[in-house]
Amino acid sequence: MIFIKTPQEIEEFKVAGSLSKAVLRRAGRMVRPGVTTREIDQVVESFIRLHGATPGFKGLYGFPASICSSVNEEIVHGIPSERVLVDGDIISIDTGATIGGWVGDNAWTFYVGTPSAEWQGLCEVTLDCLKAGIAQAVPGNHIGDIGFAVQSLAERHGYGVVREYVGHGVGHVMHEDPNVPNFGKRGRGVRLQVGMVLAIEPMITLGTYKNHTLANGWTVVTNDGSPAAHYENTVAITKDGPVILTQDSEGPWCPFQGGV
């Protein structure tokens, strides 16, 4: 079932969205060579709880942490650990906060030091894919319009578009209908209506989009070991166009570079 939010509910939702962006920004400021992904997770959980919220991910379907920390070839659902970040890595951090009965959800891929120009290009195009997808989130369009915008831009640059993991509706729980694939055809799928709230999240790879899950049951990696990037915002569909709910006083975006 697709839940339509009222204008008042969307205003309430902005509190969770703003905090979730602040949480993501706090995580990104820790990203630098020598830091472990577990250290980032611990700081994020404390930050969320200090602001009177609960981590949106911890315990969700049994996930053990407050962030998904996916490094290099890891696409999504990386579990924080004692892994030390090194210069040249990229790390996708997916996190969010639940407050006031609403769930914020957002992700960003940060540079650790200075990755190669090729890897930076992947990140830049994936962010452009997110912006292209959001631009299609208008009343009267279809889910397929969002997917088509993401897929066509990524594939124009020769990148892979992950099929198995998609965006989704979001509201009082993290995952609601409808699914929001990063591929599709114009004019296909669910028709977008005022009051829908969607997490739009391109997951794009430098090589093959084919992937598998590691033995821990969570971490998804590319089959060929190529890097992946992941960007996400929670977006409300309004009569005036898409409104990004996951934005704080600094806006809806984060820097690529960690540690800033």
pLDDT attached to residue 88: 98
Backbone angles phi, psi at 109, to 5 degrees: -105, 120
pTM, two decimal places: 0.98
pLDDT band at 225 (very low <50, low <70, confident <90, very high): very high
pLDDT attached to residue 41: 98
Contacts of 56 (CB under 8 A, 6+ apart): 20, 95, 96, 97, 98, 103, 104, 105, 174
CB 246 within 8 A of CB 15: no
CB 132 within 8 A of CB 177: no
Q: In what order do the strands lie in the sheet with 167-169?
A: 176-180, 167-169, 197-200, 233-238, 241-244
Q: Average model confidence (pLDDT) for the chain?
A: 98
Could you list the beta-strand ranges (E) of 40-186.
54-55, 67-71, 74-76, 90-95, 97-99, 102-103, 106-111, 160-161, 167-169, 176-180
Average pLDDT over residues 121-140: 98
Q: Is 253 helix (H, G, I), strand (E, B) or coil?
A: coil
Average pLDDT over residues 111-129: 98
Percent of the chain beyond pLDDT 70? 100
pLDDT band at 260 (very low <50, low <70, confident <90, very high): confident
Average pLDDT over residues 225-239: 98
Percent of the chain beyond pLDDT 90? 100
Average pLDDT over residues 232-241: 98
CA angle 24, 71, 156 (to 5 degrees): 90
Tell whether the model's pLDDT for residue 159 goes beyond 90: yes
Tell whether the model's pLDDT for residue 55 goes beyond 90: yes
Model confidence over 8-45: pLDDT tens digits?
999 999 999 999 999 999 999 999 999 999 999 999 99
Q: Which residues pair with 160 in a beta bridge?
A: 205
**Cα 100 to Cα 243: distance, rounded to the nearest angstrom:** 19
**Cα 182 to Cα 160: distance, rounded to the nearest angstrom:** 11
Q: How far is CA 251 from the centre of its chain?
A: 16
